[in-house]
């Protein structure tokens, strides 16, 4: 029982990270029907940008105070991720907005490769995993449960808390705010939204900004949890996040979060209990995805696509 509870905790921590990244995928697709495969690399760049903030911009006397260093690192990672996302939207995606869907998809893949190789070539030491400082409280909480013990770290609690709070705040913003209503209107019918006074370009840019900021923060949380950053993590976690968005229903905030936690739990439990162990944990994730899509092609919380006449 203790082993099961430990794996559940590990799955929730991984799921929280995936959920933060998946929110950007689902928001962008919900607005402009673009599968932004470069979003995983935005997450990776956010991690490296936060590390650069720590190494080059935070004075050494401040680094031991996590309540100073961690917010500054999150700000640096999110800021660089946002600037990158705005540039991508303006120069890579906006010119192809009315093109066939294959064109922006291929462009997104190309942008992903460019970002990955740029970081690998120009960030010092990025050809291998780069050590990341554990700036948050390094505390492990141990509980005696049944026949053993379970352990959860302070950074794991932070990961889960930030993902849940971020999703709640984002859902509230989209449903209650003026710009949130503009996002929903643009997603439903951009032409009619334009006639009603909504600026689609501004709305789309804001969508990229929010998704990139969440990805940048996720990059910081990944770094302090794993204690290193690597150029390969963008592709891997980008695939996880995209799968979570599809599983939960692309365009659904709640679906992206639940899909992220579901994938984290499946990966953690499959490595411990399913046939094949950790070598086949990714297989079970996609088995789950296929089963869900067979019975609900729109995902768990997605809506069937409406085709306008």
Contact between 173 and 211 under an 8 Å Cβ cutoff? The reply is no
Residue 309 has pLDDT above 60, yes or no: no
Q: What per-residue confidence (pLDDT) applies to 302? A: 82
Residue 173 lies in a domain: yes
Based on the structure, what is the number of domains in the chain?
A: 1
What is the per-residue pLDDT across 77-128, written as a single tens digit (0 to 9) for each? Answer: 999 999 999 999 999 999 998 888 889 999 999 999 999 999 999 999 999 9
Contact between 29 and 102 under an 8 Å Cβ cutoff? The reply is no
pTM for this model (two decimals): 0.93
Residue 9 lies in a domain: no
What is the per-residue pLDDT across 256-268, written as a single tens digit (0 to 9) for each? Answer: 999 999 999 999 9
Please report the sign of the dihedral spanned by the C-alpha atoms of residue 290, residue 1, residue 157, residue 137: negative
Residue 308 lies in a domain: no
Q: CA 232, CA 226: separation in Å to the nearest integer? A: 14
Q: Return the ∠ at Cα 40 (arms to 36 and 44), rounded to 5°.
A: 145
Q: Which residues contact 309 (CB under 8 A, 6 or more apart)?
A: none
Q: What number is the average pLDDT over the span 131-159? A: 90
Continuous segment of H or E residues that includes residue 134: none
Residue 16 lies in a domain: no
What are the b/e assignments for 71-80, b being 16+ CB within 10 Å?
ebbbbbbbbb
Residue 37 lies in a domain: yes
Containing domain of residue 72, as a range? Answer: 23-234
Residue 252 lies in a domain: no
Residue 217 lies in a domain: yes
User: Tokens 């995993």 identify what position?
Assistant: 129
- Strands 228-229 and 140-145 come out as unpaired
Residue 298 has pLDDT above 60, yes or no: yes
């Amino acid at each position: 029982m203790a082993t099961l509870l430990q794996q559940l905790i590990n799955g929730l921590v991984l799921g929280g990270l995936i959920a933060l990244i998946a929110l950007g995928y689902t928001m962008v697709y919900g607005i402009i029907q673009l599968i932004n495969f470069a979003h995983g690399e935005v997450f990776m760049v956010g991690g490296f940008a936060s590390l650069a903030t720590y190494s080059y911009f935070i004075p050494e006397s401040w680094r031991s105070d996590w309540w100073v260093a961690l917010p500054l690192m999150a700000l640096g990672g999110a800021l660089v991720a946002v600037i990158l996302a705005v540039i991508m939207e303006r120069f890579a995606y906006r010119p192809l907005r009315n093109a066939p869907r294959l064109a922006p998809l291929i462009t997104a893949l190309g942008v992903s490769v460019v970002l990955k190789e740029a970081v690998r070539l120009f960030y010092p030491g990025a050809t291998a995993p780069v050590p990341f400082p554990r700036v948050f409280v390094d505390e492990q909480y141990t509980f005696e449960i049944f026949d053993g013990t379970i352990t959860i770290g302070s950074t794991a609690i932070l990961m889960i808390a930030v993902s849940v709070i971020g999703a709640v705040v984002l859902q509230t913003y989209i449903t209650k705010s003026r710009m949130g209503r503009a996002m929903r209107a643009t997603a439903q019918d951009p032409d009619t939204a334009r006639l009603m006074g909504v600026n689609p370009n501004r709305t789309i840019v804001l969508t990229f900004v929010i998704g990139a900021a969440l990805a940048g923060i996720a990059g910081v949380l990944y770094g302090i949890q794993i204690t290193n950053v690597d150029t390969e993590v963008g592709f891997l976690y980008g695939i996880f996040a995209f799968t979570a968005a599809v599983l939960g229903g692309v365009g659904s905030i709640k679906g992206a979060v639940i899909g992220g936690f579901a994938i984290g739990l499946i990966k953690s439990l499959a490595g411990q209990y399913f046939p094949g162990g950790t070598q086949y944990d990714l297989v079970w994730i996609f088995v789950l995805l296929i089963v869900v899509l067979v019975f609900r092609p729109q995902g768990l919380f997605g809506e069937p696509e409406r085709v306008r006449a």
